[in-house]
Structure 1
Amino acid sequence: MESNTPVDTSDLYRDIIGFAHDTPAWLQTLAEVWTEAGLLLFGVLFAAAWWRARRGDPRALAISVLAPLATAFAYVVSELIKSAVDEERPCRAVAGAAAALVECPEVGDWSFPSNHSTIAGAAAVALVLAWRSLAWLTLPMAVLMAFSRVFVGVHYPHDVAIGLLLGALVAFLVVRLGARPGARVALALRGSSTQAVRWFAGPGDRAAAGDALAGHASAAPQPAPYQGERTH
């Protein structure tokens, strides 16, 4: 194994790619498709989360917009690490392993960490922060996408494991740190004079806004009733 990482998972890689070759052809095809189709599905979920948040409070809208941005940032971090580590792909470096199910990426397209897994981990966590009830879907999606990268033969197990953790951590930090200032921006967008901007930001929760206004009015000091002029 030719690797600059301190972890050696080449034996596990051989076992997984060997198992992949023993699976039915339809499962191999499904893994090849899923390794890319999962990214598209995450994109659809980002759009759905944003659309749902348009009628939520400003913080919900901010998180829904931050979710894909955090995922993109995680990808950039992954690329920077990948360029620094320069780990060769297992489909070229592991002796005695079965052939990859897909074409091995060209030399210079390094292996550690897995970009797909980083994106999957970031997208899954960011979507959970934006729409908690999606956890049952996004988390298994991310794990399956990461595993598919080893299954088709283009990544080591440690590439995808670290990729998942890296993406999840980056997305969590970006969304958590950006939620409060993002909410202020979302509130400003909803008050914009530009129709397209107001459409993007959505109407918000009208009922909640009405309650807030009512509460603000009731809390305001009321003038004392006029009691007429006193005479002595």
Structure 2
Amino acid sequence: MYRDIVDFALSTPAWLHSLAETGTDAGLFLFVALFALCWWRARSAPARELAIAVAGPAGVVGAYVVSEVLKVFIQEDRPCRGGVATIATCPPVGDWSFPSNHSVIAAGAAGALILAWRALAWVVLPLSALMAFSRVFVGVHYPHDVAAGYLIGLALAPLFTLLLVGAVTPVVRLARSRLSPQQAGR
């Protein structure tokens, strides 16, 4: 399946190659902007809602750390090392393939954003899936790297976010009480 996708990718126009290479990272910046928008939207909402918006990025970082630990233990070589022609330059030796960190981050951000603002699901889920698929399309990951990374991110980032909410909510209340006594109880 990997070779079929990579061979197809090589037959596509050069503008699509550029879009696929830069699109994954650009999509991650879009998720950062969406986290900022969620924070802005929740700034006057009940403390727990704001805590979810604040804890979301930390949940994504937690999922990323888990994926990095897995990479160190599994040490699967990149598929692009065997002389396969790919769109992207193959990452250096020692930069392992399984699971895909980009997929973990994209899916984790989508999951955490959905916790903060459910209406974003129709945007962030397809975008994160496209960002994850692009890692196979450009040739730097096997499909199973991306699928595993996607599942890890989608499961763990929201879980870590919810685990942090209990600690972040009292901090939000405290900060609000110092800024405005009327918002202290929210």
Partner of 1:36: helix, strand, or coil?
helix
Deviations 1:61-96 (A, max 9, x none): 100011101011111111110011110000014x7x
Which residue in the other structure is 1:228 paired with? Answer: none
2: CA distance between counterparts of 1:154 and 1:175? 29
Contact 2:56 2:158 in 1 (8 A): no
Report % sequence identity. 54
Report the AA paired with residue 28 of structure 2.
L
Within the candidate set 105, 111, 114, 1:119 is matched to: 105
Deviations 1:92-149 (A, max 9, x none): 14x7x4x110110000000000010000111000000001100011111110000000
Contact 2:56 2:161 in 1 (8 A): yes
TM-score normalised per structure 1: 0.76
1: CA distance between counterparts of 2:177 and 2:158? 28
Q: Does the alignment pair 1:132 with 2:118?
A: yes
Deviations 1:23-51 (A, max 9, x none): 12221211111021111111111111111
Report the AA paired with residue 116 of structure 1.
H
Tell me the C-alpha RMSD between the 2 structures.
Answer: 2.0
2: CA distance between counterparts of 1:112 and 1:58? 37
By how many angstroms is 1:181 displaced? 3.3
2: CA distance between counterparts of 1:33 and 1:182? 34
2: CA distance between counterparts of 1:177 and 1:72? 13
Structure 1 unaligned blocks of 5 or more: 1-11, 193-197, 214-232
Q: Does the alignment pair 1:90 with 2:76?
A: no
By how many angstroms is 1:175 displaced? 1.9
Q: Rg bigger for which structure?
A: 1
Within the candidate set 58, 61, 79, 2:47 is matched to: 58
Within the candidate set 9, 20, 27, 1:20 is matched to: 9
1: CA distance between counterparts of 2:74 and 2:163? 28
- Which range moves more in the overlay, 130-139 or 170-179? 170-179
By how many angstroms is 1:179 displaced? 2.3
Partner of 1:108: helix, strand, or coil?
coil
TM-score normalised per structure 2: 0.93
Contact 2:52 2:116 in 1 (8 A): yes
2: CA distance between counterparts of 1:88 and 1:174? 29
- Which range moves more in the overlay, 168-177 or 105-114? 168-177
Structure 2 unaligned blocks of 5 or more: none
Deviations 1:164-184 (A, max 9, x none): 100111112112222233222
Q: Does the alignment pair 1:174 with 2:160?
A: yes
Judging by fraction of residues, say which structure has more helix.
2
